[in-house]
Amino acid sequence: MQSRGSNPTPRTRRVIQWCLVPNKEKILQYAWHLKKEGYRESTIVSRVKLLNGLSRRADLNNPEAVKGAIARLDVSEARKENLVCVYASFCKLNNIPFSPPRYQRVERLPALGNVQAWLDGSLIYNAPDPFPSGQQFIP
């Protein structure tokens, strides 16, 4: 007896379609430059992704268009600062004159969670014993 039902296809990873990326040769050249300079693989991948995103919004050979594209993005100031830093190093490699705009990170307070429980001390008193079964800490 044949089973009935759907035969779903497995999930596929999102692959950047290089044929659709403008300036792909320059971006790959930039990635190779970073590799030769000893940057980590994770840094290279993240910078290439940032440049790919910028290249979809503006021509990377036109710094004013890139500045406008970064300004229009609905992201945090820290993200814009990262974009400007990556694009500035890309411009330096390709001898493109670029005066970076000024973006500064906005420092935020860390999330404290349940402030009242913290002030009451119940988080400290209800914490598990760091030295179970009578062990002692000897410096």
Query: Per residue in 117-136, is it b (16+ CB within 10 Å) or e — as a string?
Result: eeeeeeeeeeeeeeeeeeee
Q: How confident is the model at residue 116 (pLDDT cuts 50, 70, 90)?
A: low
At residue 129, the pLDDT reads 64
Q: How high is the mean pLDDT of the chain? A: 79
- Estimate the crossing angle of helix 24-36 against helix 41-57, to 10 degrees: 160
